[in-house]
Amino acid sequence: MTKAESDDPIPHAIYAGERVALLTQHGKERVLGPALEHALGCRVEHVTGYDTDLLGTFTRDISRAGTQSETARKKASVGMELSGLLLGIASEGSFGPDPYIGMFPWNIELIVWMDNERNLEVVGIGEGKTNFNHLLTGEWAAAQAFAREVQFPGHHLVVRPDGKDGTYICKGIASWQDLERAFSRALTRSSNGLVLIETDMRASANPTRMEVIGLAAEDLAHKLRSLCPACGTPGFWRVGRVPGLQCSACGTPTSETRAETFGCLKCPYHDTRDIADTTSAPPSICDYCNP
């Protein structure tokens, strides 16, 4: 933990009592509201009146037009427009292989905080394992086994005939009875005798994803509570790393990080801080001890 994270400036006064627009139709207010209200003292207001699925769906019936961050920014902007508020937040998720060995499904959640009064944007990020998966089968027994593997019925499923491009889609399946019925109907509609079963990755249908959204909310709160020492702007956070942590055996500088640079989103102020809980690097990564 760095000094910036261990210090607790508690800048509640920055956003205490402020109303923040949250546009969502998939239950994210249940996680984002409590997390940010507790950390910042703000009031997160759930905004409706816009179909966020128009910006893209995980079932591919509507393609996401922009990047993950662009889509989150668009949601936040629409929420602010609908509510007339100067503060807005929105999240967007993405799924793919894990960044370590590439063998497990991985979820990255991004939350954009937009502050039009200060012309400020701060981004929170959370990531972790997910049950993101699919199966193409014509056998009900295989469908049942897959459903258990992805933690159904606690995590909902989507069924469609033929494959990923099938136009008939049944979403939000949350019971074994509904799954069997949807599977049977999709099999009847299928032109190749196969049915695609996939995890429903909407936040309200996937508790594991909701947990990662919670991690992103915590990250966002930490950043918003960190103020620039020079101008007081929220979001004073890491912008770079300084290598050179010394080897514990010989003292030679290594490529491991010895300090982190924090920067302001508004003014030029930067601050380089040693990593408090790391004093040396293992000889195994030292170019002198382990060439």
pLDDT tens digits for 199-213? 999 999 999 999 999
Whether 198 contacts 157, CB under 8 Å: yes
Q: Are residues 127 and 141 in the same domain?
A: no
Q: Are residues 140 and 164 in the same domain?
A: yes
Whether 69 contacts 105, CB under 8 Å: no
- What pLDDT score was predicted for residue 159? 97
Q: Are residues 174 and 38 in the same domain?
A: no
Whether 160 contacts 199, CB under 8 Å: no
Three-state secondary structure call for residue 106: strand
pLDDT band at 123 (very low <50, low <70, confident <90, very high): very high
Give a yes or no: residue 290 inside a domain: no
Overall domain count for the chain: 3
Domain region containing 188:
134-199
CATH number at residue 174: 3.30.1490
Q: Are residues 177 and 266 in the same domain?
A: no
Q: Are residues 212 and 254 in the same domain?
A: no
CATH number at residue 116: 3.90.950.10
Q: Are residues 211 and 143 in the same domain?
A: no
Name every residue whose Cβ is closer than 8 Å to that of residue 210 and which is 6 or more positions away in sequence: 27, 28, 30, 31, 203, 204
* pTM for this predicted structure: 0.89
Q: Are residues 116 and 162 in the same domain?
A: no
Give yes or no for residue 63 having a pLDDT over 90.
no
Give yes or no for residue 164 having a pLDDT over 80.
no
Q: Are residues 42 and 141 in the same domain?
A: no
Give a yes or no: residue 16 inside a domain: yes
